[in-house]
Amino acid sequence: MDIILAKGTVQFDYLFAGWHNELGGFRFVGGSDLPKNPTKTHVAINTGQRYVVTFQIRNGEIKALLDGKLLTQYKTDFLDLSISAWLKLPSKVTLGVSTWQSVYVFHAIELIEVTGHGKPLR
């Protein structure tokens, strides 16, 4: 499952349960795919279990948390992050979710502003 994120006009994604449900991390960092970039962590998603996923996107840093526990954090100016061409959304400021040959149930997806002026696109 990919969570498509954005900071300014930079789109990037976090991959959960990649590589046979073994890896998670921000997908492309400095041109390196997940298995070879510094955000890689070992994380598996179990069928039938509920999770709370949180992303903290701040000036200079991104964090991914699962059930309140830090999975990975990365200091960045966001210019070194990218996304697969097939995951890019038409608007670079759009957030999204993508799955591959899997079925997921989302009980809630929330966007919570800490600072700034975000707005729903629809």
What is the predicted pLDDT for the residue at 21?
87
Task: Return the domain boundaries, the chain.
Answer: 2-51+78-98
Q: Which residues of the chain have pLDDT under 50?
A: none
What Cα–Cα distance (Å) separates residue 42 from each residue in 18, 94, 117?
9, 27, 34
pLDDT of residue 89: 93
pLDDT value at residue 7: 93
In the prediction, which pLDDT does 118 show? 65
CB neighbour burial string for 29-53, b if at least 16 within 10 angstroms, e if fewer:
beeeebeebebbeebeeeeeeeeeb
